[in-house]
Structure 1
Amino acid sequence: MPHPPPLGDSAGQPGRSNRVLGRRGCHLPILPQQDGPAAPLPASPGDAKLQRAKEALRLAGHPGDPQSLEAVGLMLDKLAKENQDIRLMQAELRVILILPFLSLAPQAQKEELETLLRKSEENARLTEALQRETASLQAAQTELRLLREKLQGLGEAGLQRHRRVCPAGGAGTGPQGQVPAHYEGLAAALSTFFGSNGTFAHDRLSFVDFLDEVEDALEELAELLGVSKEDVDNFEEMALTQLEAAPWGR
């Protein structure tokens, strides 16, 4: 069996051959070797992210370095934002894919969806109206509470003023046990309507009109003093009794 010729050129001179013997005896071509460094492969879009992630992990190897922690945090935030963008794109894609099928849905399903949509809008309007009514009711309750507190304060102040004006058990007490301090001035103002013997002596005003004016004057005086309606009635009876003008004193 003849031996294969030694590796060399076609002329038998020593050197590299442009073919090599394969595993099954076939000669395979050898690519010519280029001078200089090999050309770099084109970078893919994911290589930059991978490189940044490797850099962040390398920096994270120093736990005490604040810059490494900040770099890792920024990388995690960026990845989270990218994941959120991907989820939003997926949701939009689902909507785009579902819309054509909705147009092909049966009429009954369309009507049901429209009914649900109207009910949802009506519920939203009712909720807003209920919120407005609740706010109005709360405002009214607050105003009512303030008015009650104000009336209670006025009542207490009027009672204290009435006790100062009408001391109980004082000298010259009347039928109710109290004599207003302003009675003398009121009696002096009304003395022109009566004669020396205490009879009604006014010739241009009826007795009923006179009593109405006296009652109005007493009510104004009571409002000025801040006393209650019951105290006003008691004061009127006492004053008319003192003037002998009450029905039971005639």
Structure 2
Amino acid sequence: MLSFCQKGCKSGLLAGILWGLLFLFFTSPLIWEAETYEEKGSHHHIQETLHSRNHAVGQFDLKENLKLQLIPTVVGCVLLGGAFGMISSLFLGVGFSFGFLSRNFFQSPIRSAFLTALVGFLIFHGIPSIGNPPELPGGNGSEESFASRQLWWIQSVACSFTGVLIYLIISSGKSARIVKVFGFLIGLSVAFLPFLNLINTEALNSPVPIELRSRFIYYSLTINFIFWLSLSMQVFLRLAKDKTIDAYRIRDREMLIQ
């Protein structure tokens, strides 16, 4: 299990560098642009400061912001990437040890990496974003509802993870197709339980243009999926290179003989 975690952590740290750079150059400029709209909206309520600061509204120093945010953004994504790498590799190791994931699952690194990336993306980003999409600064009520949105995101991630576990447990082994379909439907139902108590993001009156908000959502989700794909590819290629799965099989056989 330690071997799985080490490979996952290394893969997550490297994938986190790519993750941070993509966020810095693609989504951060959208955030800075949205902040200018937020600032512009606040000036409508302060007439005396409107004329003194209107030259700064709608403008930001891109190069200066990139310099200031480079290290914090990349370091944060690297640390988070390492954590995600350990979680995903631990999940793979436990799944293989308990028989939820067969050896055949690890024989095709590319296919399995894509499936693992898709599952990780859906659990932490895809499904939660359906009810709580990535949001730019400037949305009315966004600060007030931040705690409730964070709580809902945690509930969505927990239910999505539980749904995946339920599906793997029910459909593991040589289960009939009808059993696998039944497990999939139960897992899907559990994953979408938080949507029964969906929160209101209250972003309809946001001063930020809808085109900018839509682009931010698209960029965020795309970058998150690229991160998970990079992470999963590295994990499975490392497992295949070191023949970790074969080593586990040999060790298990020796334990059974003893």
TM-score by length of 2: 0.22
Q: Which protein is bigger by CA-based radius of gyration?
A: 1
| Structure ranking higher in helix proportion | 2
TM-score by length of 1: 0.23
